[in-house]
Amino acid sequence: MKLLRFGDAGAERPGFLDNDGNIRDLSGVVDDITGETISPDGIGRLSGLDIDTLPIVDGTPRLGPCVSGTGKFICIGLNYSDHAAETGAEVPAEPIIFMKATSAICGPDDDVRIPRGSEKTDWEVELGVVIGKTAKYVSEEDALDYVAGYCTINDVSERAFQIEHHGQWTKGKSADTFGPTGPWLVTRDEIADPQNLAMWLTVNGEKMQDGNSNTMVYGVAHLVSYLSRFMSLQPGDIISTGTPPGVGMGLNPQRFLKKGDVIELGIEGLGSQKQTCVDD
């Protein structure tokens, strides 16, 4: 299933993308796409629906983030061997964990707002993992059982805030609109292998990132198990698993986003996003 949320920001309604590309309104079935909705029981109830009986949504409404009420937005740094190489960093001996503020989460096609004082706002296409049931001390072998599904994420980053202003990376990752998420949550059963998904990103039509999740240092199952040692993972939590090469910071000369730039990105089977950069 491809679950989504549509409508004005803050007033999104739950939906489902059918096989013909139509949005079907789920608001008569569930209130929203939340951690409860994407629990195993919730997914089971939705999968039993007769989709043809659900109303089709007219037009092309705005899409919101594909899951509501996310408690934790957890990111993994330097998790692609080829991305680590382009930044001159060593592959970490263990996953690098940092948090992105949940207030950064926005719809997949919402404007990216370049924060005041920014000189180095950058792009990162990433595979998002959405948790479907509480995970604590889970084994790597069982870890994928705790995943509800996957989505596309743009881990927008302000490199000067992240690296030059001291402290943790969170301050360069958490500006409003720095977490476009969606367009939909694709349930786990539709993705045969999360470690073999093509990923791409363009800026103003120019291909910047062209990678594959098969170059991840630490795969999805390892990450879910590893994180569950240090914190419980709750339904609706999102893990953003790192980016392949081609970010602006890794170019020579470096290149960063400015007002008017258009970012497009996507992941095989998970849909695409498009954002226009504006000043905050």
pLDDT tens-digit readout, 134-191: 999 999 999 999 999 999 999 999 999 998 998 889 999 999 999 999 999 999 999 9
- CA terminus-to-terminus distance, the chain: 35
Q: How confident is the model over 113-118, as a mean pLDDT?
A: 97
Rounded Cα gap, residues 174 and 74, in angstroms:
11
For residue 84, what is the enclosing H or E element? helix 81-87
Residue 236 corresponds to which tokens in the numbers above?
């609706």
Contact 75, 97 (CB under 8 A): yes
Which one-letter DSSP state was computed for residue 5? Answer: E
CATH of region 73-279, choose from 3.90.1150.10, 3.90.850.10, 3.40.50.920, 3.40.50.2300 = 3.90.850.10
pTM recorded for the entire structure:
0.96
Rounded Cα gap, residues 46 and 26, in angstroms:
9
- The phi and psi torsions of 223 (rounded to 5 degrees) equal -65, -45
Contact 161, 170 (CB under 8 A): no
46-62 per-position pLDDT tens digit? 999 999 999 999 999 99
Residues carrying CATH 3.90.850.10, the chain: 73-279
